[in-house]
Amino acid sequence: MYVCNCNGVRQREVDSAIAAGAVNPRQVLAHHGHEPCCGQCMPEIAACIIGARRANPRTEEALVAAE
């Protein structure tokens, strides 16, 4: 399923960017060499990031420590 139609970014690519350490939607797109275009994907990507943080609390602790 496409999450970002402008850049052709699929859900599995969003997941791989998050697993690689992307902590915001811009980083997710940049991980695959893209930039935001229309912005409609940003809330959905953000929701994926939040879901990943909830699924792995250790990731959340590491992100807070890094900030």
What ranges do the domains of the chain cover?
Answer: 2-66
CATH class of 2-66: mainly alpha
Alpha-carbon gap, residue 49 to 61, rounded angstroms: 14
The pLDDT value recorded for residue 36 is 95
Which is higher by pLDDT, 61 or 27? Answer: 27
The DSSP annotation for 2-63 comes to: EEETTTTEEHHHHHHHHHTT--SHHHHHHHTT---SS-TTHHHHHHHHHHHHHH-HHHHHHH
Interval 12-47: pLDDT, tens: 999 999 999 999 999 999 999 999 999 999 999 999
Task: Using a cut of 0.75, tell me whether the model's pTM lies above it.
Answer: yes
Is residue 64 over pLDDT 90?
A: no
